[in-house]
Amino acid sequence: MNSAPALRPTIKDVARAAGVHFTTVSIALRGNSRIPPATRDRIIATAMELGYRRDDVSTALARRRNAVERDRESAPTIGYVTNRSEVNGLFRQANQQRLFAGAQRQAQVLGYRLEVISVDTGAYSSDSLQEYLRRQRITGIILGSFEPGRAAPEFNFGDLCAVSIDSRHIQGPAQSVSHDRLRAVETAFHQLTTKGYRRIGLAIAQLDEEATDRMHMSGYLLAQSRVSAPSRLPALLFPTEAVSEAVITRLLRTWIREHAIDAVLCNWTNIRKLVRQSGYRVPGEVGCACLCLSRRLPGMAGVVAEMEMVGAKALSQVISLMHRQDRAYQLVPTSVFVEGHWVDGASAPARHF
Amino acid sequence: MRRCRRPTLRDIAHLAGNVHPSTVSLALRNQDGVAQATRERIQAIARQIGYRRDPLLDAFNQHRIRCCLHKRRPVVAYITDVRDHVAIQRRLWEAIQAAAARLHCQIAPFFIAGGDMRADRLDAILAARGVQAVIVGPFATNAPCLRMQWSKYCGIRIESLDTQYPGYFVTTDHRNSARMAVAELRVRGFRRIGLMLPTDVPRGQEALMRAGFLLAQHEFHPDERITTLELLPNRGAEERVQRWARQHHLDSVLTTSPLLHGIASAAAVPWACLEITGDDRKVSGMAPRFDDLADLAIEQVVARLRSNVRGDPRAIIGTYVPAEWRDGESLGGGASPKITVAEAGSGGR
- A34-43, A189-198, A280-289: range with lowest mean pLDDT: A34-43
Which stretches does DSSP call E strand in chain A? 77-82, 113-118, 140-144, 161-165, 175-179, 200-205, 236-238, 263-266, 287-293, 301-304, 334-338, 341-343
pLDDT band, very low/low/confident/very high, at B92 (cuts 50, 70, 90): very high
> In a mutagenesis test of the A interface, which of B218, B219, B301, B309 is the best target, namely the one with the most A β-carbons within 10 Å?
B218
- The C-alpha atoms of residue B182 and residue B204 are separated, in whole angstroms, by 20
Reported as a single tens digit per residue, the pLDDT across A96-155 is 999 999 999 999 888 889 999 988 777 788 888 888 988 888 889 999 999 888 878 888
Greater pLDDT, B339 or A235: A235
| pLDDT for the residue numbered B40 | 87
- Residues sharing a CB contact under 8 Å with residue A238, sequence separation 6 or more, in sequence order: A203, A204, A205, A206, A248, A251
Q: For residue B342, give Cα distances in angstroms to B190, B191, B224.
A: 11, 10, 13
| pLDDT level of residue A265 (50, 70, 90 thresholds) | very high
**Band (A328; pLDDT cuts 50, 70, 90):** very low
CB contact under 8 A, B215 and A109: no
What pLDDT, on the 0 to 100 scale, is given for residue B121? Answer: 92
- Which element (helix H / strand E) includes B252? strand B252-255
pTM of the shown model: 0.83
Distance CA A118, CA B288 (A): 38
Distance from CA of A153 to the nearest CA of B (A): 26
pLDDT of res. B85: 64
Q: Do A110 and B295 touch (CB under 8 A)?
A: no
Please report the number of interchain residue pairs, chain A to chain B, with beta-carbon separation below 8 angstroms: 124
Please tell me the least confidently modeled range out of A123-137, A154-168, A326-340.
A326-340
Q: What is the pLDDT of residue B143?
A: 81
| pLDDT value of residue B347 | 36
Q: What is the pLDDT of residues A187-234, one digit of tens each?
A: 999 999 999 999 999 999 999 999 999 999 999 999 999 999 889 999
The one-letter amino acid code at A155 reads F
Kindly report which listed range (A62-76, A215-229, B269-283) carries the lowest average pLDDT score. Answer: A62-76
Taking CA atoms, B330 is separated from A291, B251, B271, B333, B340, in Å, by: 41, 13, 6, 9, 18
How far apart are the C-alpha atoms of A344 and A321, rounded to whole Å? 39
- DSSP-assigned letters across all residues of A222-258: HHHTTS-GGG----EEE-TT--SHHHHHHHHHHHHHH
Give strand pairing partners of B288.
none
ipTM of the complex: 0.84
Asked whether B191 and B269 are in contact (CB, 8 A), the reply is: no
First to last CA, chain A: 59
Digit-coded pLDDT (tens) for B289-345: 999 999 999 999 988 887 778 888 889 999 999 999 999 888 887 665 444 333 433
How far is the alpha carbon of A4 from chain B, nearest alpha carbon, in Å?
Answer: 5
- pLDDT for position A353: 56
* pLDDT band of B28, cuts 50, 70, 90: confident
The rounded distance, in Å, linking the Cα atoms of B302 and A73 is 28
Residue A255 dihedral angles phi and psi, to the nearest 5°: -65, -45
pLDDT interval class at A78 (50, 70, 90): very high
Per DSSP (E only), the strands in A64-144 are 77-82, 113-118, 140-144
Give the closest of B55, B296, B313 to A112, CB-based: B55
Tens of pLDDT, residues B129-139: 889 999 999 88
Give percent above pLDDT 70 in chain B.
89
Look at residue A293 in the predicted model and tell me its pLDDT.
Answer: 95
- Compute the CA torsion angle A21, A24, A25, A26 (nearest 10 deg): 120
- Closest approach of B260 to chain A, Cα-based (Å): 22
- Strands of B252-255's sheet in order across: B229-231, B193-198, B252-255, B271-273, B285-287, B324-326
Judged by DSSP in three states, B47 sits in helix
Nearest Cα residue in chain B from A339: B316
Is residue A66 over pLDDT 60? no
Long-range contacts of A28-36 (CB under 8 A, 24+ apart): A29/A54
Name the DSSP class of B151.
G
Going by their DSSP bridges, the two strands A341-343 and A301-304 should be labelled as: antiparallel
> What's the mean per-residue pLDDT of chain B?
84
Q: What's the rounded Cα separation, in Å, for the pair B239 and A5?
A: 52
Q: Are A182 and A209 in contact (CB under 8 A)?
A: no
> For position B106, what pLDDT does the model report?
92
Going by pLDDT thresholds of 50, 70 and 90, the confidence category of residue B69 is low
Number of residues written out for chain B = 349
- Contacts of residue B214 in chain A, CB cutoff 8 Å? 218, 221-222, 225
Residue in chain B nearest A337 by alpha carbon: B318
B63 contacts A323? CB cut-off 8 A: yes
For residue B316, list chain A residues with Cβ-Cβ distance below 8 A.
Answer: 180, 338-339
For residue A320, give the nearest of B56, B291, B303 by CB distance: B303
Q: Does the pLDDT at position A13 exceed 50?
A: yes
Helix axis angle for B36-48 and B21-28, nearest 10°, is: 90
Least confident of A123-137, A258-272, A315-329, B268-282: A315-329
What average pLDDT does this structure show over B98-125? Answer: 87
Radius of gyration, CA atoms only, chain A: 27
Cβ atoms of residues A338 and A279 within 8 Å: no
Inter-chain CB proximity A182 and B175 less than 8 Å:
yes
SS3 state at B271: strand
* Euclidean distance between CA atoms B42 and B304, whole angstroms: 18
Closest alpha carbon within chain B to A223: B211
Q: Which chain B positions have a beta carbon within 8 Å of A182's beta carbon?
A: 175, 211
Strands B154-158 and B75-81: unpaired
- Nearest Cα residue in chain A from B8: A72
Give the per-residue pLDDT at A232. 92
Instruction: State how far Cα A80 lies from the chain centre.
Output: 10
* Per-residue confidence (pLDDT) for residue A313, from 0 to 100: 96
Q: Which long-range contacts (CB under 8 A, 24 or more apart) does B138-141 make?
A: B138/B80, B138/B81, B138/B84, B138/B85, B138/B88, B138/B89, B138/B92, B138/B202, B139/B80, B139/B81, B139/B84, B139/B163, B140/B81, B140/B83, B140/B84, B140/B114, B141/B203
Instruction: Determine the residue of chain A that is closest to B54 in CA distance.
Output: A111
User: What are residue A82's DSSP bridge partners?
Assistant: A118
| Minimum-distance CB partner of B211 among A64, A182, A320 | A182
What is the model's pLDDT at position A65?
Answer: 57
Greater confidence, B309 or A42? A42
How large is the average pLDDT for residues A296-325? Answer: 91
Residue B292's nearest CA partner among B256, B317, B327, B324 is B324
Instruction: Tell me the shortest Cα–Cα distance from A339 to chain B, in angstroms.
Output: 5
Question: What CA–CA distances, in Å, run from B19 to A16, A132, A230, B22, B25?
Answer: 41, 46, 71, 8, 11
Q: What is the pairing mode between strands B285-287 and B324-326?
A: antiparallel
Contact B58 A110 (CB under 8 A): yes
More confident residue, A346 or A8: A346
Residue B215 to residue A110, Cβ atoms within 8 A:
no
Question: From the candidates A2, A232, A306, which should be mutated to test the interface with B, based on the most B CB atoms within 10 A?
Answer: A2
pLDDT higher than threshold 60 for residue A70: no
pLDDT of B339: 42
State the Cα–Cα distance between residues A105 and A178, nearest whole angstrom.
18
Which chain B residue has its CA at the smallest distance from A57's CA?
B60
Percent of chain B with pLDDT over 90: 39
Looking at residue A73, its amino acid is E
